[in-house]
Amino acid sequence: MLNKFKTLNVLPRWIIVMIDLTIFSLSALVAYLLRLNFQVDQLYEFDFLRGITVYTVAGLMASLITRSFAGIIRYTGIQDTLRVLYANLTTLFIVFTINYLSENTFPYSIALIAFLVSLVISISYRLLVKELFAFYRTVPKAQKRVLIFGAGRSGMITKQLIDNDTKQNVKVVGFLEDNARKIGNVMAGVKIHSAVNDFEKLILKHSPSELIIATSNMTIERKNEVVDRCLEFGIKVSTVPSTDKWIGGEFDINQIQEVKIEDLLGRNTIQLKNKFIAQELNNKCVLITGAAGSIGSEIVRQVIGYNPAKVILLDQSETGLFEIENEIRAIKKLDDRLVSYVADVSNASRVRDCFATYKPNIVFHAAAYKHVPMMENNVAEAVNCNIIGTKNLADHSVEFEVDKFVMISTDKAVNPTSVMGATKRMAEVYVQSLNEFLREIDSGATKFITTRFGNVLGSNGSVIPIFKRQIQNGGPITVTHPDITRYFMTIPEACSLVLEAETMGKGGEIFVFDMGRSVKIVDLAKRMIQLSGLEEGRDIEIVFTGLRPGEKLYEELLDDAENNLATHHPKIMIAQTRRVEFSTIKSTTDSLLDILATRDLDQEHALVRTLKGILVEYKSKASKFETLD
């Protein structure tokens, strides 16, 4: 109630006028009663109803003339008080005039008493409202109560920062812990409770509005359990970043952020063999294509940590390159060791110039078109970038004796149902067949390696940013099918495994990453609605729109005919894929180049028909190319 009063908007002027008219009427009535010593039976002898009406109408005319209603009551000052005085004096003048012209319609004595009563009440109520607003604005906000999960260093610092924050009225009412040795102790004057046994007791006792997760030792599974419990009780969940992300090694209270869906879909920390990665990248020239994209830019961030001699950022987006270069230079002094190179990978001469100029030792090829429905309608561009671009890079890698070439592929290349998936599978086949061909003729030192994984959280155009925008806009959230599922992996995790696979690769492998369990997209949408503090069906709707052209109901990491082999890393396997002779794949890519050069009206179908001729597993789905199967 108090908060509503404190935040009340300015009253409409017509309401102020109505209040003033009520005061005029009541003042006239009080004046009659005072003049008659409260002898009510004499009121009708003086025709008091007529007199009150005259005084009220006069008050209305005076208010309009003096605009006594124009001021904001809560800010009443001298000018507003004078306007009220002028309004009452004008009312008295109008009544006197009427009384003079109509032979004592309103006795002068009653008019004077009404004037004094009206003046006192009009000024007093304005000053009273002003004082009430001033008083209620000084009343402190209800204290916000929070729980902190984690009674370690991060939890302790979080508690201290909350206590020292004078801008917020927040009280930490308890620590929660899974570590039995800490439970029952007191830290910074606050008791440490069992997160399992004491959670509901604390909720009932303190009614906290927020829980802050201040530990980096919590598994994803446990974090999901904690978030689910909090959502049951309508408690907001926030998280403290890990110590390696503290600004300048220090934690600021503004770094506490609401828990995001990405925090609940990621997996537990991956253990990398950083020593071997460092040996591979130290003092090497590294070329990264698609460097401005989601995956490419993260590879850049991770590669620069291993002391490369030079890093070449290749992308066709000059704005994207500008942004990633500025970001990297802000955190690491690289001088001329960082080079931005604007190029389209399908432009063979431009790509060759890059190799000839910088002679890279290692290539990470992340440049690709990846939007499934869009590529169904832009077949030539998908073939040109994903296949011809890969061919250009691979061929020049051989020419300039690159040590290792690592291609980033996708789970959509497995049993492809779309143009995008088919072009990525064709790129996989090209580099794998080229690797085998080089081995057979004992020529060249380049090792070709492919990495294959599913969707990454938060990448450009992925489902999570789309859902976030839809929630912010009030919905609906659009899901293509109630049963559609996808694998998810964080971008840093995926890129870490790419670097690990690079160290493991001997040439010719397709490394498949363990993506964990698949996630139903509709469940993901519901969870995001919950985390936004909304309720599905009441606040926001989920609408099913139907599968889009080329879209799968579920993704696969291995073909039905493929098997996988274990590696020393538990998250990385090797797919045993069908082999294609390099002469066959070269002939097919030559055919694709010829078709691209024709610009025939039937070009799209000719390209897809050629792809289906070599990729027997490519079966279009919900697409205009189904007739070619």
- Enzyme catalytic residues: 412
- Residues linked to residue 479 through DSSP beta bridges, in sequence order: 544
d(CA 17, CA 67): 9
User: Which of left, alpha, beta for 576 (phi over 0: left; psi -120 to 50: alpha)?
Assistant: beta
The helix or strand, by DSSP H or E, that contains position 564, with its residue range, turns out to be: strand 563-566
Helix (H, G, I), strand (E, B) or coil at 625: coil
The helix or strand, by DSSP H or E, that contains position 223, with its residue range, turns out to be: helix 220-232
Q: What's the per-residue H, E or C state across 4-28? A: HHHCCCCCCHHHHHHHHHHHHHHHH
Listing from the earlier edge strand, what are the strands of the sheet with 572-576? 338-342, 310-315, 285-289, 362-365, 404-410, 447-453, 510-513, 572-576, 563-566
Q: Are strands 485-486 and 563-566 parallel, antiparallel or unpaired?
A: unpaired
Q: Is-contact 242 263, C-beta < 8 A?
A: no
Q: For residue 386, which of 403, 366, 405 has the smallest C-alpha distance?
A: 366
Q: How many CA atoms lie within 13 A of 13 on its CB side?
A: 7
> Which single residue is written with the structure tokens 């064709």?
426
Omega prior to 416 cis, within 30 of 0: no
d(CA 283, CA 278): 9
d(CA 524, CA 527): 5
d(CA 392, CA 385): 10
Beta-carbon contacts of residue 306 (< 8 Å; ≥ 6 apart): 277, 278, 280, 281, 282
